[in-house]
Each structure stands twice: as structure tokens, then as C-alpha cells.
Amino acid sequence: MVCKSTDEDMFGPEIPEAPEIPRDVPAKRPEIKVSKRKYEIVWFNVATFTYAHLAALYGLYLGLTAAKWETIIFSVILYSMAMIGVTAGAHRLWSHKAFKAKLPLQIILMLFNSVAFQYTAYHWVREHRLHHKYSDTDADPINAHRGFFYAHVGWLLVRKHPDVKKAGPTIDMSDLDANPVVKFQKDYAIPFCGTICFLLPTLIPVYCWGESLNVAWHVAVFRYIANLNVMFLVNSAAHLWGYRPYDHTMLPAENLSVALASFGEGFHNYHHTFPWDYKAAEFGNNRLNFTTAFIDFFAKIGWAYDLKSVSDEMIEARKKRTGGGPNFPWMEHGEKITEHAKDR
Ligand SMILES: [Zn+2]
Ligand SMILES: [Zn+2]
């Protein structure tokens, strides 16, 4: 069943009224404004990220030249699990409550999310709710006004901006404080996620099909860093480049390359305009939005329910009010998943 939300402010930024602009002309990106700040570098994080990226490059080389085919297939499966654990789990389910999940699906998503090890889902959600509430301001941990590198990874290499520290405690986390699945992952963060993300993915290839320890470890690090960077692109590339058909006053944009790489998280102008939509996109088109296909599958077997979406009327009204030019030409004629969802 699909619940059409009418609460425009839920978990989304408040967007000021904007004058209507012609729909056939792509809107210019809003002006990049940045206030001066002193960066306090966290050298431990710089060292960890530097090592991990160098090891990942070596892992890519080993993956291409020395790894057994079983290791490659295993890594692709783990990569997909990690991606879904972030997109369907930490993002659409836990950050935005865009659908509800029964216990078995919550456990699956928590395990998948642990493969991604972007610290824990709990921490991820807190940062993400801040990101939406104060989008592209200094209280947004990932303020894209500070440029591609800062929004991509730089924000993790420096101490938090004072505005982020001030805004952090204002985020309501009571739903996840009461969620035993998320709480378990939070309580055992390093040993549990470390085992699921690195230890088992290294030991399984060694013991099950005789992969060398050196190859297994470095390929696991490559898979981890690849997943991390694709998710980072949602914060960097999809906040800087693309169409803004729903709201031209914000930085987030519809970015097809990011959408493809991130299993459907690159329709970011739509997502920041209507953050509670479980599709994180106006159109279904599951070839481009594997996360939506995943949630739809579990909705079919009843483990996902109360999928929230947005009415066509609300989308059209918003486009008229703040829309900034066209979408991808073929997206204008895209398949609306809501049409199918209505039948369930
Ligand atoms: Zn964003
Ligand atoms: Zn979001």
C-alpha cells in the first residue's frame, strides 16, 4: 500500500517562495556562497583515508591481475549488499522513514549496512538528518558550498564546524534510540561492523576457495573504498551538477551518472524537495533505481509496508512554484512507479 504524504516539511528543508522561470531553459546553479572558516585537520583521519585509498588502488590492481574469479564475484555481491544497506537501510528507511520494515528486513538491512561500515546506521542517520535540515549551510556537515572535495570527503578530514556541533543535539533520534536492531549495531560498532566489513570478507576467500591473504585483504579494501566513494558522490557531484526541475533555489541536482552508480540515489533535486518518497525519485524506472526495486520486492512479500510517495498534483504544483527548467528529456516520459504501487 502506498501512503501519499501531504506533509511537505517532514524531514525536508524549508524552501522559500521563488519566482516562476521558463521550464524549457535549464536553471543555472544557485550562486556558491561560502563564509571563511579555519579548518582544523584531523590527521588520524587523513592517515587512515590515505592508507585505505592506496591499499584500494593496490586491491584494484590485484583484482585485475591476480584474484580468483570467486573472489571477484564475492566482492560484487558484497558491494551490492553494502550499497543497499546504505540506500534502502540507513537512508530511505532509517533517516527518512519513507517506508516501514518488519524485523527480518530490518536485520537484513542492518547486516548489509555493516558491510558498508560507514560507521553505524545511527551515526549516519544523525548526520543525514542534519544534512537535510540545514542543507548547504554551515550547520550541514557536508556543506557543498565549500566545493567538491569538501562535500566529497574533506568534511571527514577536519573538525566539525561550530554550527554543526550546535545543531547536532537538535536532531530527534528517539525513533532509533528505541530501535533494538539499530541500537545493537551502534553498541557493537567497531567489533561487529569490522568483522562483517573486513574480517569475514578477507577470511572467507582464504578458507573457502584458497585465495591468498594479500589478495583477499586488498580486494576487500578496494570494495569498501569503491562503495564509500560512490556514496560520497551523492554529496559532492549530485549537489553541484545536474538538472533542477523541482527546485532551482537549492544545490542538489538530478545527476544520472550518480544515480546509476549509487543504485538510484542521484535524483537529488527531487529527493531534497520530497525527502519522504521511498523511491527518492519521481519516476520508478527500476533499471536506474535498484534500491526502489529492492524495496518493491520486499513490499510484495509484506516485509516492507506503508511505502510513502508524493501525489502527481503535489509534484506539479511544486514544479510550477520553484521548478528550474527541464528534467532529462526521457525522464519527462518516465514510468511512474506510483501507478503500479496504487494497485498493491
Ligand atoms: Zn544531499
Ligand atoms: Zn536523504
Residue-level pLDDT at 288: 78
The whole model's pTM is what?
A: 0.88
- For the stretch 136-140, contacts whose Cβ atoms lie closer than 8 Å and that sit 24 or more positions apart, written own/partner, are 136/239, 136/250, 136/251, 137/163, 138/35, 138/37, 138/163, 138/164, 139/163, 139/164, 139/166, 139/167, 140/164
Number of the ligand closest to the Cα of 255: 1
25 DSSP assignment: S
C-alpha 235/C-alpha 244 separation (Å) is 15
Convert the pLDDT of each residue in 285-333 to its tens digit: 666 789 999 999 999 999 999 999 999 999 999 998 888 777 766 555 4
**What phi and psi values does residue 113 have, to the nearest 5 degrees?**
-65, -30
- 27 CA to centre of ligand 1 in angstroms: 18
How many CB atoms lie under 10 A from the CB of residue 84? Answer: 21
Torsion of CA 112, 48, 200, 218, to 10 degrees: 110
- 87 CA to centre of ligand 1 in angstroms: 13
- 272 CA to centre of ligand 2 in angstroms: 7
pLDDT at 338 over 70: no
Mean pLDDT of 260-282: 94
Residue-level pLDDT at 19: 53
Task: Name the residue among 303, 267, 306, 258 with its Cα closest to residue 285.
Answer: 267
What range does the domain containing 146 cover? 2-343
C-alpha 228/C-alpha 80 separation (Å) is 12
- 69 CA to centre of ligand 2 in angstroms: 35
- 253 CA to centre of ligand 1 in angstroms: 9
- 212 CA to centre of ligand 2 in angstroms: 39
Query: How many angstroms separate the Cα of 268 from the Cα of each of 12, 104, 253, 277?
Result: 12, 29, 5, 12
Convert the pLDDT of each residue in 190-239 to its tens digit: 999 999 999 999 999 999 999 999 999 999 999 999 999 999 999 999 99
Residue-level pLDDT at 21: 54
pLDDT band for position 24 (50/70/90)?
A: low
Number of the ligand closest to the Cα of 235: 1
Number of the ligand closest to the Cα of 125: 2
Residue-level pLDDT at 241: 92
Q: How many structural domains does the chain have?
A: 1
- 185 CA to centre of ligand 1 in angstroms: 24
